[in-house]
């Protein structure tokens, strides 16, 4: 009570000049302090610049991967990223970030099942053709679409050799907070970049309960994916295009 | 050569207003279609994740290709110094700009986010042939605009040849760029061929001239101005040469593809068992758009007949739209070869279905209407058309 009265007393005694001075200082400090707070927050969130020291990749072993595994991968992706429940889109209009593909060898009739998604190329044709730089590749090899720059021209979908991209054909609701999607823009597998940046694995990798799908840093000689790729024979889909994909397959 | 006098058209007749009203109705229908497509999203169209570019792209690319070709008449006059084409130069520049405007309108309004056009104008990826095309289209407006100014302004006439050369070079690069949109697509069997670029250039010659001939003959007929055979017959001969050249490039493109085993599938799809695409290729593109016009233009029975020239021009335009339909839609409908040597059982593959919707068709036709309405209005307000193109004016040395 006393303190309060003293404060009022003091305020009464403030000259106009003092008042302006105090206000200006307070405003200045507040502005700078906000900046400091923001910077601190960013650093605390661990958003260090992504560098090309790492290259995220995936190895899918089609000999170990069961059809149930693939269904689990697709479901996990849909759950994580919130696609696949488009109400109005039909057939090929629906989003398909990852899909189950079954192929038969023409000579031997051997059947292989695999999960097909964005292959996160080192030389991505989608990034080359995008007129507005909306399609982009992070330094760590993850290929993404900037939904703020995408004008929906679909040229990236013409250029992608893997049919990996989808165009949002309708207005959407109930989107995931980490994965905003927008009508009229193009989208694809993000390699669960929001999880990877937190040190987690992509949802589809987590969904498989064996080492049929290995995720990791292709460049790190101690990583499981690097060591496995050194040991087993693997391939890239459309290796002839020389795109140096981040997703590799063995057993096909 | 006598002095050419240019004069605005009157544009007060009932016919003129009927034309404007008719074209206006098409433009309104196009805008309505755009609202419908953009409000609901592209799910109301026939397009999908497999056929990402549909009928609007067919019209847009047809108009853009024809636009650069329509400038040829002016180029022949200024770059190659053929005086007889000089009186047509202004109209040639106008038709080129109008067609490009119509084509770009369709292209932009079919974007997923046409409201972000400003992004396309400010963010450039210089590795993208598409981004280069945006620069080339904008530059075309500027260069042809300046070119028209040089032609209209007597003091500037002396520069018109230099600007004409620049415009001619620019348009060759532009159509090379448009063809390369497909030629550079390495993943798709139907594209990935550098011959697409020169083929598009030669297609532009034929489509642009066909459009120009129709505009020229209609505007002289409707304004009752004399149009002599000297000019018309020359244009007719030139048109025939261009149509034959298109057929040549199409033959080389398909023969080249047929030689490579990897392209056998897509070739047999387009040429033999592709259903609507095969029919459009043979009946639309080759017969109606190539063989019949050649016969009409060169056979003694029909040569020199204006109605037959008009019919040939219409067929060339329809054949050109069929050709772009086969290239754009047919090229996407055939699946990419993801696993050579293997058969795709599930998940991808098969021929993608596409049924264009009315909205897509109206948007495409709206592009043509925009081009025509721009021409109809501008010839009314500026002296684009010589008041006479009778033989003794256009070519005093012409002998009947």
Contacts of A111 in chain B (CB under 8 A): 345
The answer to whether B199 touches B253, Cβ cutoff 8 Å, is: yes
How many domains does one find in chain B? 1
Cβ distance A151 to B112 less than 8 Å, yes or no, reads yes
Cβ distance B187 to A152 less than 8 Å, yes or no, reads no
The beta strands (E) that lie in B2-89 are given as 6-7
Q: Which of A105, A159, A169 is nearest residue B187 as measured by Cβ atoms?
A: A159
pLDDT at residue number A15: 60
Cβ distance A241 to B336 less than 8 Å, yes or no, reads no
pLDDT at residue number A39: 41
The mean pLDDT of A136-152, rounded to a whole number, is 96
The answer to whether A246 touches A230, Cβ cutoff 8 Å, is: no
Cβ distance B111 to A151 less than 8 Å, yes or no, reads yes
Whether A1 shows a pLDDT value over 50: the answer reads: no
The answer to whether A197 touches B126, Cβ cutoff 8 Å, is: no
Chain A contact present for B154, CB below 8 A:
no
Average pLDDT, chain B: 94
Within a domain: residue B394? no
The number of beta carbons lying within 10 Å of the beta carbon of residue B341 is: 9
Cβ distance A100 to B40 less than 8 Å, yes or no, reads no
Residue tagged 């986010």 (tokens): B113
Within a domain: residue B270? yes
The answer to whether B310 touches A63, Cβ cutoff 8 Å, is: no
Tokens encoding A174: 């109930």
Contacts of A73 in chain B (CB under 8 A): none
b/e map A211-244, b = 16+ CB within 10 Å: ebbbbbbbbeeebebbebbeeeebebbbeebebb
With both helix axes pointing from N to C terminus, report the angle between B55-70 and B89-109 in degrees, rounded to the nearest 10.
160
The answer to whether B211 touches B66, Cβ cutoff 8 Å, is: yes
Paired sense of beta strands A143-145 and A166-167, if any? unpaired
Cβ distance A131 to B345 less than 8 Å, yes or no, reads no
Greater confidence (B350 vs A45) lies with: B350
pLDDT at residue number A4: 45
Min Cα separation B354/chain A (Å):
10
pLDDT tens-digit series, residues A146-187: 999 999 999 999 999 999 999 999 999 888 999 999 999 999
pLDDT at residue number A49: 83
pLDDT at residue number B99: 98
Q: Report the residue of chain B nearest A170, measured CA to CA.
A: B41
CA pair distance B56, A154, nearest whole angstrom: 13
Whether A6 shows a pLDDT value over 60: the answer reads: no
Query: Which of A99, A135, A151 is the best residue to mutate to test the B interface, defined by the most B CB atoms within 10 Å of its own CB?
Result: A151
- Band (pLDDT 50/70/90 cuts) for residue A126 is very high
Within a domain: residue B343? no
The mean pLDDT of B74-79, rounded to a whole number, is 92
Q: Report the residue of chain B nearest A90, measured CA to CA.
A: B43
CATH assignment of the domain containing B331: 1.20.1630.10
Greater confidence (A171 vs A44) lies with: A171
Within a domain: residue B13? no
pLDDT tens-digit series, residues A198-239: 999 999 999 999 999 999 999 999 999 999 999 999 999 999
Contacts of A185 in chain B (CB under 8 A): 112-113
- Band (pLDDT 50/70/90 cuts) for residue A42 is very low
Within a domain: residue B397? no
Ordered DSSP codes for B309-354: HHHHHHHHHHHHHHHHHIIIIIHHHSPP-SSTTEEEEESS-SPPP-
Count of CB pairs separated by less than 8 Å, A with B:
176
pLDDT tens-digit series, residues B219-238: 999 999 999 999 999 999 99
pLDDT tens-digit series, residues B165-185: 999 999 999 999 999 999 999
Longest pairwise C-alpha distance within chain A: 97
Using DSSP's 3-state secondary structure scheme, residue B6 falls into strand
Contacts of A83 in chain B (CB under 8 A): none
pLDDT at residue number A10: 46
Within a domain: residue B131? yes
Q: Report the residue of chain B nearest A235, measured CA to CA.
A: B339
Average pLDDT, chain A: 87
Min Cα separation B48/chain A (Å):
4
pLDDT at residue number A117: 98
Cβ distance A184 to B113 less than 8 Å, yes or no, reads yes
Q: What is the DSSP letter of B301?
A: T
Whether A34 shows a pLDDT value over 50: the answer reads: no
Contacts of B131 in chain A (CB under 8 A): 131-132
pLDDT tens-digit series, residues B282-317: 999 999 999 999 999 999 999 999 999 999 999 999
Query: Which of B36, B112, B350 is the best residue to mutate to test the A interface, defined by the most A CB atoms within 10 Å of its own CB?
Result: B112
CA pair distance A210, A64, nearest whole angstrom: 8
HSE at residue B288, side-chain half, CA atoms within 13 A, is 17
Within a domain: residue B344? no
User: Containing domain of residue B57, as a range?
Assistant: 20-336+350-385
pLDDT at residue number B161: 92
Q: Is B396 exposed, middle or buried (0-12, 13-18, 19+ CB in 10 A)?
A: exposed
The number of beta carbons lying within 10 Å of the beta carbon of residue B238 is: 19
Angle, alpha carbons A119-A124-A126 (nearest 5°): 100
The mean pLDDT of B85-106, rounded to a whole number, is 97
Whether B335 shows a pLDDT value over 80: the answer reads: yes
pLDDT at residue number A8: 45
Query: Which of A95, A126, A169 is the best residue to mutate to test the B interface, defined by the most B CB atoms within 10 Å of its own CB?
Result: A169
Within a domain: residue B3? no
Residues 222-281, chain B, touching A (beta carbon < 8 A): none
pLDDT at residue number A16: 59
- The β-bridge partners of A104 are A111, B343
């Amino acid at each position: 009570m006393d303190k309060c009265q003293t404060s009022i007393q003091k305020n009464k005694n403030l000259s106009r000049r003092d008042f302006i001075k105090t206000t200006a200082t307070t405003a200045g400090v507040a502005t700078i302090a906000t900046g400091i707070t923001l910077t601190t927050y960013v650093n605390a969130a661990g958003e260090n610049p992504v560098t090309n020291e790492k290259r995220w990749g995936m190895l899918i072993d089609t000999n170990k991967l069961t059809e149930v595994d693939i269904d689990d991968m697709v479901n996990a992706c849909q759950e994580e990223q919130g696609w696949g429940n488009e109400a109005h889109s039909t057939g090929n209009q629906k989003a398909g970030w990852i899909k189950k593909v079954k192929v038969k060898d023409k000579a031997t009739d051997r059947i292989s099942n695999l999960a097909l998604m964005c292959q996160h190329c080192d030389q991505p044709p989608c990034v080359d053709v995008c007129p507005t730089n909306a399609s982009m590749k992070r330094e760590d090899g993850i290929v993404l679409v900037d939904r703020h720059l995408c004008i929906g021209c679909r040229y990236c979908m013409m250029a992608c050799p893997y049919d990996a991209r989808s165009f949002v054909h309708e207005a959407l609701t109930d989107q995931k907070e980490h994965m905003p999607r927008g009508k009229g823009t193009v989208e694809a597998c993000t390699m669960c970049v929001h999880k990877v940046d937190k040190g987690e694995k992509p949802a589809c990798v987590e969904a498989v309960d064996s080492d049929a799908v290995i995720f990791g840093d292709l460049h790190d000689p101690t990583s499981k994916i690097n060591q496995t790729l050194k040991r087993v024979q693997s391939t890239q889909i459309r290796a002839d295009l020389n795109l140096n994909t981040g997703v590799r397959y063995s057993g096909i | 050569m006598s002095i050419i006098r240019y004069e605005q058209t009157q544009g007060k007749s009932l016919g003129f207003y009927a034309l404007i009203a008719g074209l206006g109705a098409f433009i309104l229908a196009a805008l309505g279609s755009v609202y419908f497509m953009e409000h609901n999203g592209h799910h109301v169209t026939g397009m999908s994740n497999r056929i990402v570019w549909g009928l609007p792209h067919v019209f847009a690319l047809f108009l853009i290709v024809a636009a650069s070709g329509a400038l040829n008449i002016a180029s022949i006059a200024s770059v190659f110094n053929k005086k007889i084409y000089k009186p047509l130069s202004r109209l040639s520049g106008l038709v080129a700009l109008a067609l490009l405007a119509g084509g770009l309108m369709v292209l932009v309004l079919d974007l997923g986010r046409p409201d972000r056009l400003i992004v396309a104008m400010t963010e450039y990826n210089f590795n993208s042939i598409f981004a280069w095309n945006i620069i080339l289209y904008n530059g075309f407006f500027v260069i042809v605009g300046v070119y028209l100014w040089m032609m209209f302004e007597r003091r500037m006439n002396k520069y018109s040849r230099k600007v004409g050369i620049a415009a001619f070079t620019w348009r060759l690069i532009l159509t090379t760029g448009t063809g390369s949109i497909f030629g550079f697509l390495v993943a798709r069997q139907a594209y990935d061929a550098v011959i697409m670029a020169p083929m598009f250039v030669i297609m532009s010659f034929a489509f642009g001239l066909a459009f120009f001939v129709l505009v020229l003959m209609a505007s002289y007929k409707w304004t009752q101005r004399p149009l002599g055979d000297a000019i018309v017959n020359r244009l007719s001969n030139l048109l025939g040469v261009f149509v034959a050249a298109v057929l040549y490039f199409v033959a080389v493109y398909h023969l080249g593809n047929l030689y490579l085993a990897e392209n056998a599938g897509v070739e047999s799809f387009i040429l033999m068992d592709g259903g609507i695409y095969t029919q459009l290729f043979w009946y639309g593109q080759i017969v109606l758009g190539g063989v019949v016009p050649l016969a009409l233009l060169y056979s003694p029975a029909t040569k020199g007949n204006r109605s037959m020239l008009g019919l040939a021009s219409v067929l060339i335009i329809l054949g050109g739209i069929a050709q772009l339909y086969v290239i754009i839609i047919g090229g996407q409908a055939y699946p990419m070869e993801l696993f050579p040597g293997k058969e795709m059982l599930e998940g991808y593959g098969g021929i993608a279905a596409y049924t264009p919707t009315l909205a897509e068709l109206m948007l495409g036709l709206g592009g043509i209407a925009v081009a025509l309405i721009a021409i109809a209005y501008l010839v009314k307000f500026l002296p684009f058309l010589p008041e006479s193109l009778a033989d003794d004016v256009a070519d005093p040395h012409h002998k009947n």
